[in-house]
Amino acid sequence: MPEPAQNGVAGHDDASSTHHDTEAEDQDQDHHDSHDDHAAGSSDAQEPPRKRQRVRLSCLECRRRKLSCSRELPCDRCIKSGTADRCTYEPRPGSVSGPVSERSSFAPAAPMVSFDLDSRHPNHNPLRRSVDASLLRESARDHDRVRRLELEVAQLKAALAKQASLDGSTVVASPLTHKETRPEEPSEPVAPIIPDNPDGLEFKFVRGHNFKARYFGPHNAWDSVIQLNGLQLFMRQTADQWLRPLNIQKKDRDKRRNDRMKRFMEPGLDLEALLPPRDETDSLISIYLDQFEQIHRIVHVPTFKKQYASFWDPARTRSAAMTVLVLAMISVSVCLDMTVSNKFVGVKSSSFQRAAKWVKACDNWHANQSHKHRMLIHYQIACMLYMAKRVNIIKKKRFWSTTGVLVRDGIITGLHQDPEHMSVQVSPFYQEMRRRLWATMVEFDVQSSVDQGVPTLMSQVYNDADAPRNIDDDQFDENTEELPESNPDDKYTLSSYQHLSRRSLPLRLELTRILTMSRGALDWEQALRYTELLTQEIDALPAWDIDTEPAPNSIHKPILAHTLLHLQLKQFFIPLLQPFIKLRENHSKFQIAEFLYYNTARDIVIAHDKLFQRGIRSLNFLREDTMNAAVNLCTVSLRQPKDNSSWIMSNAQETISLIEKCIAMKEDRILRCGHNDPWGYSSMCAALGLLETHLGTKPMEQAKASAAERFISLHYRLVTNQQSPITNPQMSHGTPGSTVGADSAGRVGAYMNHVKQSDVTPYTVQQQQQQQNNGMSLGNTPYLRDGMPISTPWLLPSGDTSQVLPNPDFSLEGLGTDLIDLWPDWAESSAPFS
């Protein structure tokens, strides 16, 4: 096969010269082969020479798309379209070729060639990953020669075995003793004949238009019926001859379509009753657009703002779908807009109660919608509902199954196939929205799989969809006839995260697949190799200006995308290195695993704390990095001997400070959403006490008391802000997610009466004033939003992170059994999720 220029090192000239060199070598080899065949027998000379099949130089992806190819590996078009892992060339007899993903460095167990992201050819595209072209070319030629020799040996063995089986002789046949009977022509591997004009087999099973498309696999039952010759003609003739005379009317599809649209545009009065006032809704919508649309693209912001403005127009009818979309959107951000007067019902905040009620109403509406006649807004609602459940921790055990449903719905709609390659009619606007929604579903599924430690559905999906373009929403709309070109990577847009995240998706899927297998399948060399690949991907990320505060009217916040792009790669260091830090005591070579493990956990905490200090909490609510990082810091520190002078032990005080920051971020989330995930906070408090005991800063009993005091202090703050369910009409009618029953409410009421009638209070007056002054403070500079009123969406953390200790004279008996239930008993459960 003509050697393509490897990884962008050579251009068309190199590819052409390599082609001529290889042809000359093949001609010499064929000349020697024909000479040997002529010496073997005179009958060979009479056979006509076999005609060599013309080898096509372009890659299979470019030939399928009917585009010009740079003849490199991977080629420029495959890199730009995000399909570099499928860039492959047509093999010739005796050669081995496969997709880039099969030959790349994502499989360290076999001889591999890594993609060097740091070294780039000065006269070539900077996006191309380059390797040593001469080394690859020589390796490929040697591989071809080995393959030819293996084929010749196999042919000779087959001929000898056949001759021995015919005459029953034990004498080895040779060309001198066997000239008359020539064995049958050996079966050479024939290169697959791929037509120059493919019919798009993998895309012809997508029918429909825009988001009403449906994907059918190549082996679906209906396709078998269609391929039955004469069946359609027979059925049509039968209908004309026997059914039409009976005056059986046809379906009035236009009338049914109009009726369906009328029902779709009907208002949902029960849903509108759940909407908060206009000012509050505007504030919650602004928070969502400012924080969550920076990373997961679900709506087209200019189009949504137009629809949202008409949504409040009293002269227009609100469709139920738009009402559900608004409710789902504010469910995501309601806990991020908490004020200091937030109340609690039991251990759940009133903001969480409202979010749970909205999510349940939207879920019921979405479940009653037709799966056949879905539109763009239905998929937007589905993605937002999952995000709302994730942020508010609603049905945590169903996160992974919910993302699997999202991916399957996307597949049946054909979102995993790029719309530019399909024959169905999809406008440029819907093409980009399909790519964005599919990228959002994929990231949801991959992250939920990593958090749960289970395989992802995406590892079994042929993902042909291109990455979303790096463009802002104001660069295209529903009337756009052609999408603009993607901006450079160093220019930040609202779609930069999805555009760049797609590049590391093959590596993350490979790591997810390996880590969900048996731990014994990963050795130390492979772990180091994957660590190197992750580091290369991290180093290749663009460095935006994230330290400068954005302008008041700017919607761009690159720090969110920058942080998430790093976190989703760094999180794989922990499970990769975790099996090897246990072997540090026996093997000194695993010391690097401890350093990488500790440094990764430290970087994750610092990244989240930087967002937390700016009042940005979207990533902290979407991910569980803070709890995992705190536990991992304790894990690696506890494995260090007390008298050790290593870097980890020398950095012990910073480790304690980082864990306290994680606890502060967890407390902030609990005060906003409620204590609906108690095992995480209690585990962090206990881990900190255990580390302080190991370092010798506190005795065991004092460390236990400190952990209990920290936990009790937070619980007191929840109790002192209790709101009786009876005094809140919205919460008294079976509020979803409420965990306070009549018995618990009675205990809380009795406790509150005890506090009023007794001099014993959980806090002193001085401590309460300190909490109000230093515990939380509103941001000094409110964010300005186009078309939206000024609001205060965040509460900036306090500079003083010290815990408020409870009054030592207070008795725990007033709390009943709630406090014990919130502190998990690990002796009764084998896992925190049980």
378, pLDDT greater than 90 = yes
What is the arithmetic mean of pLDDT over 731-740?
39
105, pLDDT greater than 50 = no
219, pLDDT greater than 50 = yes
pTM: 0.67
381, pLDDT greater than 90 = yes
CB 760 within 8 A of CB 811: yes
Run of H or E residues at 596: helix 591-613
791, pLDDT greater than 90 = no
At 420 the pLDDT is 82
Confidence band (pLDDT; 50, 70, 90) for 214? low
Cα–Cα separations (whole angstroms), residue 135 to 6, 130, 685: 10, 12, 55
Instruction: Label residue 266 left, alpha or beta by phi (over 0 means left) and psi (-120 to 50 means alpha).
Output: beta
Q: What is the DSSP letter of 123?
A: T
* Rounded Cα distance, 84 and 101, in Å: 8
Instruction: Label residue 208 left, alpha or beta by phi (over 0 means left) and psi (-120 to 50 means alpha).
Output: left
Q: Which residue has the higher pLDDT, 100 or 481?
A: 481
What is the arithmetic mean of pLDDT over 801-826?
47
CB 331 within 8 A of CB 358: yes
* Rounded Cα distance, 431 and 354, in Å: 35
> Who's near 567: CB < 8 A, 6+ residues apart?
604, 607, 619, 623, 625
Residues 443-488 have pLDDT tens digits of: 999 999 999 999 999 988 888 899 999 999 999 999 999 999 999 9
Q: Residue 324 phi/psi, 5° resolution?
A: -65, -40
Confidence band (pLDDT; 50, 70, 90) for 513? very high
Residues 555-597 have pLDDT tens digits of: 888 999 999 999 999 999 999 999 899 888 888 888 999 999 9
* Rounded Cα distance, 344 and 675, in Å: 10
At 95 the pLDDT is 44
Residues 630-671 have pLDDT tens digits of: 999 999 999 988 878 888 998 999 999 999 999 999 999 998
> Who's near 458: CB < 8 A, 6+ residues apart?
407, 442, 445, 446, 509
Pairing status of strand 776-778 against strand 206-207:
unpaired
What percent of the chain stands above pLDDT 90? 40
Cβ neighbour number for residue 158 with a 10 Å cutoff: 14
Secondary structure E strands in 479-582: none
Residues 674-684 have pLDDT tens digits of: 877 767 888 99
At 537 the pLDDT is 96
At 182 the pLDDT is 43
Q: Half-sphere exposure (CA, 13 Å, Cβ side) for 63?
A: 18
Q: What is the DSSP letter of 730?
A: G
312, pLDDT greater than 90 = yes
Report the alpha-carbon angle 90-92-96, nearest 5: 80
* Rounded Cα distance, 129 and 825, in Å: 52
199, pLDDT greater than 50 = no
> Hey, which of 131-140, 368-377, 551-560 has the most confident mean pLDDT?
368-377
Cβ neighbour number for residue 769 with a 10 Å cutoff: 12
> Who's near 511: CB < 8 A, 6+ residues apart?
530, 534, 572, 576
How many Å separate Cα 490 from the centre of its chain?
Answer: 22
Report the alpha-carbon angle 492-611-672, nearest 5: 125
Please name the residue that has the structure tokens 């559900």.
324
Whole-angstrom Cα Rg for the chain: 33
Cross-strand bridge partners of residue 783: 791
At 139 the pLDDT is 60
* Rounded Cα distance, 331 and 340, in Å: 19
* Rounded Cα distance, 219 and 221, in Å: 7
Q: Please confirm whether the linkage preceding 245 is cis (ω < 30° from 0).
A: no
CB 636 within 8 A of CB 581: yes
At 62 the pLDDT is 86
Q: Residue 613 phi/psi, 5° resolution?
A: -70, -20
Q: Which residue has the higher pLDDT, 111 or 394?
A: 394
Residues 242-277 have pLDDT tens digits of: 887 777 666 777 777 777 778 777 888 999 999 999
What is the arithmetic mean of pLDDT over 105-109?
41
Confidence band (pLDDT; 50, 70, 90) for 163? low
- What residue type is assigned to position 827 of the chain? A
Q: Residue 797 phi/psi, 5° resolution?
A: -70, 160
- Grouping H, G, I as helix, E, B as strand and the rest as coil, residue 136 is helix
Q: Which residue has the higher pLDDT, 60 or 439?
A: 439
What is the arithmetic mean of pLDDT over 430-437?
95
* Rounded Cα distance, 208 and 95, in Å: 41
